[in-house]
Amino acid sequence: MDLFGKSLLDFHLKNPKPLFFKIGDNKFERDVSQYFRRDIKLFSQEELELFTLCNGRTLDIGSGTCNYHFLMKSDVVGIDNSTYLNQIAKDFNAKTINSDIYNFNSDHKFDSFCILGNSLGLGGSLENVLNLIFKIKDLSTPGASAYIIQKDISAPYETYDIEIEYNNFTEKIQWLSINRFYLMELLNSLNIKSEVLSVSSGNYLLRIYNF
Ligand SMILES: C[S@@+](CC[C@H](N)C(=O)[O-])C[C@H]1O[C@@H](n2cnc3c(N)ncnc32)[C@H](O)[C@@H]1O
């Protein structure tokens, strides 16, 4: 159904309706304007740092509206499985691939990867975090790095259902958050290196390299 993508497209087409997320007992309205930021002042320090760190051919995984690509100097292409969001990205003159990242293959490898907005957890399970890491490894040039911004949590990791409510329809998706030390241990056990570049406002910026 892709209610998230549809709500953002309606907002983009100036026909906004409220979007609600319910996580456990907590139901709240999601402010979709954050996916349409066009002013550099609206981005966090971590995000601005990530934008400058990406270099060469860059793949932005779970790119959404790509509203931040204008701040990136590298040759960036987004990948997102939402046709609605890729339609918005096109209006922002961003390059995107309409595909599920897990099914994506390419002969052209990438020098950098970025994952913003807690999106390492988009597969909704620890197994899918590993699948995503292996996918990045497959798509990497020698010496490539991935830069991710994740919400930090105290538990090693946490999976949760998000019930999305929009325009009288509901849909459930699964998401995951992961603690930075736990993620680094996991990567270390795969002989993949990582370093925390900064931590602030409950988020961490991690570089993953030596795939
Ligand atoms: C939280 S949003 C982040 C969007 C953008 N990176 C940002 O920070 O504004 C997560 C994005 O991941 C996309 N997504 C979820 N599962 C995906 C998958 N399996 N393959 C590709 N994209 C996916 C969603 O459509 C959504 O646009």
| Beta bridge mates, 200 | 203
What pLDDT, on a 0 to 100 scale, did the predictor assign at position 138? 97
**80 CB within 6 A, ligand 1:** yes
**187 CB within 6 A, ligand 1:** no
The whole-angstrom separation of Cα 137 and Cα 36 is 30
Angle ∠(68,124,21) on CA atoms, nearest 5:
65
For strand 19-23 and strand 157-166, is the pairing parallel, antiparallel, or unpaired? antiparallel
**pLDDT per residue as tens digits for the range 22-81:** 999 999 999 999 999 999 999 999 999 999 999 999 999 999 999 999 999 999 999 999
State the average pLDDT over residues 166-187: 97
Q: Are 99 and 107 in contact (CB under 8 A)?
A: no
The mean of the pLDDT values for the chain is: 97
The whole-angstrom separation of Cα 56 and Cα 74 is 5
**pLDDT per residue as tens digits for the range 98-153:** 999 999 999 999 999 999 999 999 999 999 999 999 999 999 999 999 999 999 99
What pLDDT, on a 0 to 100 scale, did the predictor assign at position 77? 98
Q: Kindly list the structural domains of the chain, giving each domain's residue range(s) and its CATH number in brackets, ordered by start.
A: 3-209 (3.40.50.150)
**pLDDT per residue as tens digits for the range 2-24:** 999 999 999 999 999 999 999 99
**pLDDT per residue as tens digits for the range 116-129:** 999 999 999 999 99
Nearest atom in ligand 1 to 67's CA: 9
**85 CB within 6 A, ligand 1:** yes
pLDDT band (50, 70, 90) for residue 163:
very high
The answer for residues whose C-beta is within 8 angstroms of residue 187's C-beta and 6 or more apart is 133, 193, 194, 208
**64 CB within 6 A, ligand 1:** yes
